[in-house]
Amino acid sequence: MKRIFIYVLFVCLVASAIGYILYRYKKYNAENWSYKASDNLQEINIISIQDLERQAQEIIEAGAFDYIAGGAETETTLRRNISAFDDIDIYPRVLQGVDSPDLQTSVLGIDISLPVIVAPAAAHGLAHESAEAGTARGAAESGTIMTISNYASSTLEEIAQAGDGAPQWFQLYLSKDDAFNRKIVREAEALGMRAIVLTVDAPVGGNRWRDAKNDFRFPLALPNVAPAGGQTKGQGIGAIFSSAQNDFSMNTVRYVKSWTRLPVIVKGIQHPDDAEEAINAGADAIWVSNHGGRQLDGGPASIEVLSEIAIRVNKRVPIIFDSGIRSGQHIFKAIASGADVVAIGRPVIYALALGGWQGVVSLFDYLKADLSRVMWLAGTQTVEDIKNADIRPKCMMVRCVE
């Protein structure tokens, strides 16, 4: 009996020692692990954005992919952002004399090659080692606007240099540190950014179940976030949001307007009344968005509120739209519903992962071809023609649910 006791005690001591060694080894690796993102640099063949996402999932680390692709809670709004486009029909028009549709347009005085820009999205370094600098070069080569997230994994200077003079906007998450807010905006101005995109739909982070399940923490620094200096590495999005301001009012818009000479775009509008108040506070443009379904789950799809907001705005300021754009027909439907331009986020990151800046160019080439095809079949020669095109919500064919 004594020998059995000694044997069991010995086994327990050995198991404890092994457990401690494994714990220390795991902790060491967690503290010293170097994240490895894709270094692909190539043109990519895109069949569909859905297929692009599946390919990107194969090469982006699982927790990072879930952070990029995921939404809030059950992701109902995330899915609805895409599926709601199916509830709108485009009238095919013939005998309209359309020949090689012209995709060029402008927004806030900036000429772009197609009515699609890059939406702000955090941490492109999760997808590719070139990070936002790669995205910026791809956007510049494609003749469109890059909107830089405050939570980028490249510095503003690196991104501006990669853009080589191409138009860029800076998305601002207001920090609780007002001095830092002014400093980062002054830096954006000095680097030639053409607008400030004030994001107001994230007073707190959404309840993102995927990130919680994965205990996702950023393996890269986010150098444009207060506090600066790289302390963001190893933090979850909740900890990073804790430094952000979470008390927004229309005075916030007036305040930001008072200390920048750049146009201020208010991003995160989902209700006509909020659009009206933002314009009254001095917004130079309205950005209709539900943050890609990453904030309030159970809210409407962005496309479901766009036309109502556009009616209230009544062309007083430009309208940018995002959330759910995955094809040329989606672009067409959003513009026909009242948007001046649309923005894409996740598809850009997927393309970056698969091909670097060349992959981003391939994505915009795909969207140009896809939108041109839809415009041809819908009998629209220009982007202005899309704005005047007839579309038909499917509820017109049956009784709409009140």
Domain ranges of the chain: 1-33, 49-396
CB 108 within 8 A of CB 328: no
Single out the catalytic residue among 124, 128, 291, 330: 291
Cβ atoms < 10 Å from Cβ of 273: 10
Q: What is the pLDDT of residue 244?
A: 77
Q: How far is CA 24 from the centre of its chain?
A: 37
pLDDT tens sequence across 220-232: 989 998 754 446 7
Q: What is the pLDDT of residue 4?
A: 58
Distance CA 378, CA 72 (A): 35
Element at 180 (helix H, strand E): helix 178-190
Residue by residue, DSSP assigns 348-390 as HHHHHHHHHHHHHHHHHHHHHHHHHHHHHHTT--BHHHHHT--
Q: What is the pLDDT of residue 204?
A: 85
Write out the E strands in 242-357.
264-269, 285-288, 319-321, 341-344
Q: Please report, rounded to a whole number, the percentage of residues in the chain having pLDDT higher than 90.
A: 78
Give the pLDDT band of residue 36 (cuts 50, 70, 90): very high
Q: How far is CA 94 from the centre of its chain?
A: 36
Write out the E strands in 282-361.
285-288, 319-321, 341-344
Give the pLDDT band of residue 395 (cuts 50, 70, 90): low
**Mean pLDDT on 375-388:** 97
Q: What is the pLDDT of residue 227?
A: 58
pLDDT tens sequence across 284-335: 999 999 999 999 999 999 999 999 999 999 999 999 999 999 999 999 999 9
Distance CA 353, CA 23 (A): 32
Instruction: Tell me: pLDDT of 12 over 80.
Output: no
Give the pLDDT band of residue 10 (cuts 50, 70, 90): low
| Whether 291 is catalytic | yes
CA separation, residue 323 to residues 29, 101, 344 (Å): 37, 25, 7
Give the pLDDT band of residue 57 (cuts 50, 70, 90): very high
**Mean pLDDT on 184-188:** 96
Give the pLDDT band of residue 147 (cuts 50, 70, 90): very high
Axis-axis angle for helices 131-142, 156-163 (nearest 10): 30
Q: Which of 193, 183, 212, 168 is nearest to 67 (CA)?
A: 212
SS3 110: strand
Q: Does residue 227 have a cis bond before it (omega within 30 degrees)?
A: yes
Give the pLDDT band of residue 203 (cuts 50, 70, 90): confident
Q: What is the pLDDT of residue 20?
A: 44
Average pLDDT, the chain: 89
Q: Which of 303, 305, 258, 299 is nearest to 282 (CA)?
A: 258
> Which of 2-16, 106-120, 256-270 comes out lowest in average pLDDT?
2-16
SS3 311: helix
Instruction: Tell me: pLDDT of 394 over 90.
Output: no
Q: Please tell me what DSSP assigns to residue 291.
A: G
Among 26-30, 91-95, 103-107, which range has the highest average pLDDT? 103-107
Instruction: Tell me: pLDDT of 275 over 70.
Output: yes
SS3 23: helix
Give the pLDDT band of residue 62 (cuts 50, 70, 90): very high
Q: What is the pLDDT of residue 235?
A: 75
**Mean pLDDT on 8-14:** 53
Give the pLDDT band of residue 97 (cuts 50, 70, 90): confident
Q: Please tell me what DSSP assigns to residue 282.
A: T
Distance CA 28, CA 12 (A): 24
Give the pLDDT band of residue 233 (cuts 50, 70, 90): confident
Give the pLDDT band of residue 237 (cuts 50, 70, 90): confident
Instruction: Tell me: pLDDT of 346 over 60.
Output: yes
CATH number of 49-396: 3.20.20.70
The amino acid at 90: I
Q: What is the pLDDT of residue 16?
A: 55
Distance CA 40, CA 305 (A): 38
Give the pLDDT band of residue 267 (cuts 50, 70, 90): very high
Q: What is the pLDDT of residue 1?
A: 54
